[in-house]
Structure 1
Amino acid sequence: MKLRSLRLRLSLAAAGLIALALALAGAGLVLIFDRVLDARTAEDLDRTAKFLAGQVSRAPDGRLQLGAEPADPRLATPYGGLYWQIAPDGPDRAADLHSRSLWDKSLPSPPTDRHTVDLDGPEGARLIAVGRRITIGREPAPTPLTITVAMDRRDLAASRTTFLGLIVPALVGLGLVLALAMSVFVQRALRPFRALRTDLRAIHDGARTTLPGDFPDEVQPLVDDLNRLIGVQERALQRARTQAGDMAHGLKTPLAVLTALARHSADDRPELSAEIEGQALAMGRQVERALVRARVAAAGNLRRRACPVAPVVARLVATLRRLPDADSLSWEVNVPAALSYPGDEGDLTELLGNLLDNARKWAHRRVVVTGASDGSDSRLVIADDGPGMSAAAIARIARGRRWDETKPGTGFGLAISSDIAEETGGQVALGASELGGLQVALEWHTA
């Protein structure tokens, strides 16, 4: 797929936006999970703190005591990750009660203005903690206490890692599904343009004259403009055909009169008569060439049809073989049936007729016609075993002049064929053939 492809650009843009949206969604989900996990942990820690508040009391000797301890096994394991501590307010830290998991450590008292805080714990651990302030005893000697329950954040990190292990594959899978859905969406969105291309190809092949009017509202203005353009071109080409025909009729009659007058006065002034007749014939050939180019240009519109080459060559060769002087020639034709030329049959017939007729006039014994195509470029070669042409003669033909005045039509037909080839997207190249004579190669690009 080319980088200039609209489908590729839309697909890349959609994939990038999907990836960005999923990345943001993943980051948001992780943030939400962290918040929810902290809130759930704080709720569990606060429940433990309430349990401890209900169990703490003063012993007869004035020391703090617990009626029962929380049953979590982590509280009984040194540095087990879950801790609690009960401390009286003030400097008297000797009256502390704490879980066995704290061992020989103690927790700093959390601030009074916050319910959930982060504290430094044993062995450099970072703890999420909940603190509660209570008072035990009665007047006149109540005892204010601070209950702190904390958990190692490494336990929360393990839960976070588990969550990431689940959410990342889920987001990747969702991304693939969305990318597939976006690909289908892009395909459907570009369907009108593919239909437009098919309809334009049908116009180019001559199967239809205008584009249909059943496109989406976003594409229909373009279709309407194309239809208007096709109509304008058709009218302009029709005017060109008419004007070319008028010019032909307007010039042929005066030229015929000049030729007749020149021949009539040949007895009185033969040199002047021959000059006038020669100039009239030259003007006639130029008019013929101009009319051919105008006709071919007018035919080269959007509805040009590709023409099979093999039937045209076979028909022309059969016609040339019936001429009186063609019995001594050997025609060898090898043209693939699939070879087609990007012009109509009339143009191709006139083009190849000139080339084959020139080969017939100058060949001694053989004329070989071969065709080939490699998928993108096609070629038709006409070679003869005649005298061939010099580089200077080829240059004269390229300038639109005749090759040799000794035979009627020689050279000028090649120039007309070259004009037709250029107007229909091909080109004619002249050179030496392996048979010793002239080789004429008609080359064109296959769409």
Structure 2
Amino acid sequence: MSRRSLLVRLGCAAALMILLALAAGGVGLTLIFDRQMERRAVAELALYLKALAAEVRLDADGTMGLEATPSDPRFEQPYGGLYWQIDGPRRQQLRSRSLWDEALPTIDTPPGRPLRARWIDGPEHARLLSVERTIVLDDTATDTKVHLLVALDRADLQAERRSFLSLLVPSLIGLGLLLIIAMAGFIHLALRPFRDLQAHLQAVRSGHGRELPRGVPDEVQPVVDELNRLLAFHDASLERARTQAGDLAHGLKTPLAVMGAAARRARDGGQGALADEIDEQVGAMRRQVDRTLARARAGMAAALGYGSTPVGDAVNKTLRALQTLPGAQSLDWDAEVAQGLRFAGDEGDLMEILGNLLDNARKWAHSQIRLVAREAGERDWTLVIEDDGPGLPEDEALRIERGRRWDESRPGTGFGLAIARDLVEAYRGVIGFSRSSDLGGLRVSITLPGQQRKE
């Protein structure tokens, strides 16, 4: 598919939007997880802080101590990731064994203030989430302020975050793939009316229909209606042109017949030279009219797309007709046509092409004429006609292109080839003249459109 494909564009846009949405969702979920994890950590540290506050004592001599230390083993392991610290009067300080010989920075706050959570620097260049509070010991003679701090290493939080991401990222990737597949299927179904429209247009082009069906979605219906109107106008215009061409041919027959009759009267009156000149001009006019009408008829048939013609049947009919002509019985006619080969055009045009080419071969062949028709690619087919006659000089092909006879010794020689060329070109085909390597005579090769194969 090219980059201009609507399916590719919609698919890429949908995939990009899905990826952006999942990325934004992943970032949002991670932020929410971090926030909730931090709140849970603060709540857990607050519980440790309350436990420490309940265990702090001040002896009679003013020495600060603890009735019991928190039971979490991380407090006992050096740099274990969980720390507590108590700052009392006379610069007394109690620390968990996990701090080893480190001290944590504190901020002096008035007693009674809510818990304060902040990030601080810890041992081994670690970042710690700390909860601290200043309390007053009521069981002493004088109100003694004590500052309590409990902290958690961010590495513990990051471990939980990595565990969360290890589940979140594969889940988002899997969800993204499912959404992309689902969106691709949705786009495929959404574009189905356009594929159906293409198939119906191909059917019209190949002659299997004259208009597009109307049972399409509302968004496509205006396009179908406009195309049907265009097809109807096109058909009407071509039919009118075809009728006018037929009328023109019929209208020219009478003047040509009158001129022929005048030539006969002149010959009867002893004016043979004048009669021959009139007959020659009448014949030239008839051939020119026939050629022009054949080209116009072929062009209209190709444009209208009226059905297709079995090549084998047209070849058989043409051969049967030609074999009744003088000298044809003594020739060896060799015809090979691929089975199922069809010509996308009018049967009469195909038989006229075959008739002109085979008749020219009949006039010049010594003993053998060969015809081969076979497929050439997905939509085209080739026709090769060869004979064992004298052949056509290459410099004479241009004369045939111009509709001139390349040999005046035989009646009509070369003009049928020019008509065949016109018909082939009207169907957007290609015709070429060369010398046959097998038979030695003229070799005519033609490439014509065949009936499009249905997928």
Once residues 101 and 323 of structure 1 are traced to their aligned partners in structure 2, the CA distance between those partners, rounded to angstroms, is 118
* Equivalent AA in structure 1 for residue 45 of structure 2: L
Residues 20-39 of structure 1: CA distance to partner in whole angstroms, max 9, x if unpaired?
Answer: 22222212222221111111
Note the aligned Cα RMSD (angstroms): 1.9
Once residues 24 and 138 of structure 2 are traced to their aligned partners in structure 1, the CA distance between those partners, rounded to angstroms, is 54
Q: Counterpart of 1:147?
A: 148
* Equivalent AA in structure 1 for residue 135 of structure 2: I
Q: CA 1:164 to 1:111, structure 2 compared with 1: closer, same or farther past 3 Å?
A: farther
Q: CA deviation at 1:204?
A: 2.1
* Equivalent AA in structure 2 for residue 49 of structure 1: L
Among 442, 445, 449, the residue aligned to 1:438 = 442
Once residues 286 and 105 of structure 1 are traced to their aligned partners in structure 2, the CA distance between those partners, rounded to angstroms, is 113
Q: CA 1:149 to 1:67, structure 2 compared with 1: closer, same or farther past 3 Å?
A: same
Q: CA deviation at 1:303?
A: 3.4
Tell me if structure 1 keeps the 8 A contact 2:343–2:449: no
Once residues 138 and 101 of structure 1 are traced to their aligned partners in structure 2, the CA distance between those partners, rounded to angstroms, is 29
Tell me if structure 2 keeps the 8 A contact 1:292–1:420: yes
Once residues 108 and 325 of structure 2 are traced to their aligned partners in structure 1, the CA distance between those partners, rounded to angstroms, is 118
Tell me if structure 2 keeps the 8 A contact 1:137–1:143: yes
Structure 1 stretches of 5 or more lacking a match?
none
SS of the aligned residue for 1:278 comes to: helix
Q: CA 1:110 to 1:273, structure 2 compared with 1: closer, same or farther past 3 Å?
A: farther
Q: CA deviation at 1:137?
A: 2.8
Q: Counterpart of 2:425?
A: 422
Aligned length: 444
Q: CA 1:318 to 1:277, structure 2 compared with 1: closer, same or farther past 3 Å?
A: closer
Deviates more, 1:295-304 or 1:358-367: 295-304
Once residues 408 and 248 of structure 2 are traced to their aligned partners in structure 1, the CA distance between those partners, rounded to angstroms, is 27
Q: Counterpart of 2:97?
A: 100
Q: Counterpart of 1:60?
A: 60
Q: CA deviation at 1:138?
A: 6.2
* Equivalent AA in structure 2 for residue 334 of structure 1: E
Residues 134-174 of structure 1: CA distance to partner in whole angstroms, max 9, x if unpaired?
Answer: 11136872112221110111111111111111111111111
Report % sequence identity: 50
SS of the aligned residue for 2:320 comes to: helix
SS of the aligned residue for 1:202 comes to: helix
Q: CA deviation at 1:67?
A: 2.3
Structure 2 stretches of 5 or more lacking a match?
none
Q: Counterpart of 2:359?
A: 357
Tell me if structure 1 keeps the 8 A contact 2:132–2:150: yes
Tell me if structure 2 keeps the 8 A contact 1:58–1:137: no
Once residues 307 and 143 of structure 1 are traced to their aligned partners in structure 2, the CA distance between those partners, rounded to angstroms, is 112
Q: CA deviation at 1:189?
A: 0.7
Once residues 449 and 40 of structure 2 are traced to their aligned partners in structure 1, the CA distance between those partners, rounded to angstroms, is 74
SS of the aligned residue for 1:381 comes to: strand
SS of the aligned residue for 1:429 comes to: strand
SS of the aligned residue for 2:27 comes to: helix
Q: Counterpart of 2:198?
A: 197
TM score, norm. by length of structure 1:
0.94
Q: CA deviation at 1:205?
A: 2.8
Once residues 422 and 243 of structure 1 are traced to their aligned partners in structure 2, the CA distance between those partners, rounded to angstroms, is 22
Tell me if structure 2 keeps the 8 A contact 1:115–1:131: yes
Q: CA deviation at 1:8?
A: 2.1
1:162 aligns with 2:190: no
Deviates more, 1:12-21 or 1:101-110: 12-21
**Where does 1:173-192 land on structure 2 (aligned, <5 Å)?**
173-192=174-193
**Where does 1:15-414 land on structure 2 (aligned, <5 Å)?**
15-88=15-88, 92-93=90-91, 95-110=92-107, 112=109, 115-137=116-138, 141-266=142-267, 267-376=269-378, 377-414=380-417
TM score, norm. by length of structure 2:
0.93
Q: CA deviation at 1:5?
A: 2.4
Q: CA deviation at 1:252?
A: 1.5
